[in-house]
Amino acid sequence: MNGAAISLLPRARLADVVRGRAAWVGSRTDPTAARGLFSPIEPRLSLGTLYDDPVEAERKALDERRSGFDFALVARIAIARALGGAPSRRRHARPWIVSSHVDNVTIPRALDLIFEAPTTPGQGRFVAFAHPHALNLARFDGVLRGHLADADVVLPDGVGLRVASRVLGTPLVANVNGTDLLPLLCKEAASRGVRLAFIGAKEGVARRAAENLTRAEPGLDVAFVTHGYLDAEATRDALASVRALGRVVVLVGMGSPVQERWCHAARAACPEATFVTVGGLFDFFSGDMPRAPLAIRELGLEWAFRLAQEPRRMAKRYLLGNPLFLGLSMWDRISRRPSRTTEARP
């Protein structure tokens, strides 16, 4: 059962909570557990970032409750609802956000799309994770915008897209965050018997990420790894190695717009491969870059944690880029740009 598809059980009644007959925080997924007015997984449900089994995630959170947990949870729920909103029954298959259509899919469907085999003769597949920075760039870069338009799949990455989708009136069902998705992707690859390849980051980073992930997921086969600083000759060698693997999913972390341009061109050389843009993903799974604590992620503030880690490099992207992204979304809504929200995936 996935967070995007879950139907929560009714809340405990407020009157029962006030009289001490029910708890402020309790279960809303397990009918055998004590019911609560709020569930500890509600912030992640609102932000579309619940990747684990809901019952197990809720049980673990309840077991780890500490003093002050209930008050802090209610605050996180309020903020998460303001950012992500409640699930909507309206659903556009491929809403247009700032500069690209994005696939409005659940987490399980996103995995299925990543692992679909290429069907176009002589051409591999290209899956892009579209985060606000990439969509800001594409708004003013016709080449990048064209690459995203040509992608087989464009997945909405980041709470910013969830907020923008609400502004535009085309809410997303999930935040398909690449960092949260990778462990599930590795599990799926091992289960399906599909090999992975890692291309990106500085020398040694992708290799350490591969080692950590294969230790965590028995049966995972990361068959090729190289850094992302490739000249023309190194690119030809890397693509020859990928092509020799046959059916493979290639994670490419070079930063936008380089990774989109690289994947767009590379799929012509590897007809059985699926190329997936992953940005700085290898830095997190190599252990070089810490991930924000869950409580910060539940507030939609992982970008602020990242900014604190790398202020010089990330200041322009977040302090200027985030307001620009939301401003462009609001402008598109106000100006009623030509409707592109109902395009269906061919």
User: Can you give the pLDDT at residue 328?
Assistant: 96
For residues 252 and 239, give the distance between their C-alpha atoms in angstroms, rounded to a whole number: 12
What is residue 87's predicted lDDT score, i.e. its pLDDT?
A: 53
> Does 127 lie in the same domain as 74?
no
Same domain assignment for residues 133 and 211: yes
125 & 205 share domain? yes
Q: Hey, what are 74's tokens? A: 């209610």
Backbone φ and ψ of 186, nearest 5°:
-65, -40
The total domain count for the chain is 2
Q: Is 143 in a helix, a strand, or coil? A: helix
In a domain, 243, yes or no: yes
- In this structure, the answer to whether residues 65 and 140 fall within a common structural domain is no
Is residue 156 domain-shared with residue 263, that is, in the same domain?
A: yes
Q: What is the pLDDT of residue 345?
A: 52
138 and 196 both lie in a single domain = yes
Q: Are residues 152 and 239 in the same domain?
A: yes
SS3 sequence of 34-91: CEEEECCCHHHHHHCCCCCCHHHHHHHHHHCCCCCHHHHHHHHHHHHHHHHCCCCCCC
Report d(CA 321, CA 133) in Å as an integer.
Answer: 6
Residues 179 and 204 reside in one and the same domain: yes
Cβ atoms of 110 and 181 closer than 8 Å: yes
Report the CATH number that the domain containing residue 206 is assigned in CATH: 3.40.1010.20
The pLDDT of residue 337 is: 61
Report the chain (346 residues): mean pLDDT per 10 consecutive residues. Answer: 59 88 88 88 82 85 79 80 63 91 95 96 97 97 97 95 91 90 96 98 98 96 98 97 98 97 97 97 95 83 91 94 96 74 50
SS3 of residue 252 by DSSP = strand
For residue 12, being part of any structural domain is answered with: yes
The domain boundary, picked from 23, 56, 84, lies at: 84
* DSSP code at position 27: B
* Other CB atoms within 10 A of residue 227 CB: 20
Residues 245 and 145 in one domain: yes
Domain membership flag for residue 310: no
Residues 105 and 226 in one domain: yes
SS3 content of the chain, % helix, strand, coil (to 5): 50, 15, 40
Cα 316 to Cα 64: distance, rounded to the nearest angstrom: 37
50 and 102 assigned to the same domain: no
3-state DSSP assignment of residue 238: helix
How far apart CA 192 and CA 246 sit, in angstroms, is: 15
Which of 285, 308, 334 is a domain's end point? 285
Residue 90 lies inside a defined structural domain of this protein? no
Residue 26 within any structural domain of the chain: yes
Q: Give every CB contact of residue 23 below 8 A, 6+ residues apart in sequence.
A: 12, 17, 34, 35, 36, 37
Same domain as 80, residue 115: no
Summarised one tens digit per residue, pLDDT across range 249-280 is 999 999 999 999 999 999 999 999 999 999 99
Looking at residue 4, its pLDDT comes to 41
Decide if 209 is inside a domain: yes
Boundary of a domain, candidates 32, 49, 84: 84
Asked, for residue 175, whether it belongs to a domain, the answer is: yes
Residue 284 has a pLDDT of 95
Taking alpha carbons only, the member of 257, 279, 254, 248 closest to residue 129 is 279
Query: Is 139 a member of any domain?
Result: yes
Instruction: Name the residue range of residue 57's domain.
Output: 3-84
